[in-house]
Structure 1
Amino acid sequence: MPTSSSWPRTYLNWKRVLLLSLKCVYFMLAVKFSQKCLAMSIKSRLAQGQRQGVQQRSQRRGVALT
């Protein structure tokens, strides 16, 4: 049977473990969110570059035809 003096310490240890695990989960969510934002940014830049390339090619064709 545990003594009364060991209960508060055990409670505090579990509280610290829970807090640390919540911090880890929060950190992992923040990392995932930043990765998704970075991926979306890269995709939008690539799409924008492709649109500009298409516009430049169509302008060149227009100049070449006239």
Structure 2
Amino acid sequence: MPTSSSWPRTYLNWKRVLLLSLKCVYFMLVVRFSQKCMEMSVKSKLAQRQGRNVREGSPGRGLRVLT
């Protein structure tokens, strides 16, 4: 049977561990969300650039126009 002095300290440690683990999970979710947003932004900019190249009639990357 744990003594009364050791019980609150153990409870406090578990509370700290739980809070720290929740903070870590939250941080990982924020990092993952920001990575997805950056990835979507890059894809969007790339698609806009490719669309603009098609509208202007300029050749795509790797294509040469022989005159």
- Aligned residue in 2 for 1:48: 48
User: TM-score with structure 1 length normalisation?
Assistant: 0.85
What is the percentage of aligned positions where both structures have the same residue? 78
One-letter code of the match for 2:53?
G
SS at match of 2:57: helix
CA deviation after TM superposition for structure 1 residue 22, in Å: 0.2
Structure 2 gaps, min length 5 = 59-67
User: TM-score with structure 2 length normalisation?
Assistant: 0.83
- Aligned residue in 1 for 2:27: 27
Query: Looking at both structures, which has the greater relative contact order when contacts are Cα pairs under 8 Å and sequence separation is at least 6?
Result: 2
Distance (whole Å) between structure 1 residues aligned to residue 3 and residue 22 of structure 2 = 29
One-letter code of the match for 1:37?
C
Greater fraction of residues in helix: 1
CA deviation after TM superposition for structure 1 residue 2, in Å: 1.5
Distance (whole Å) between structure 2 residues aligned to residue 30 and residue 2 of structure 1 = 40
CA deviation after TM superposition for structure 1 residue 32, in Å: 0.2
Q: Deviations over 1:5-47 (max 9, x none)?
A: 0000000000000000000000000000000000000000000
Structure 1 residue ranges (4+ consecutive) displaced by more than 6 angstroms after TM superposition: none
What RMSD in Å do the two structures reach over aligned CA positions? 1.0
* Count of matched residue positions in the alignment of Structure 1 and Structure 2: 58
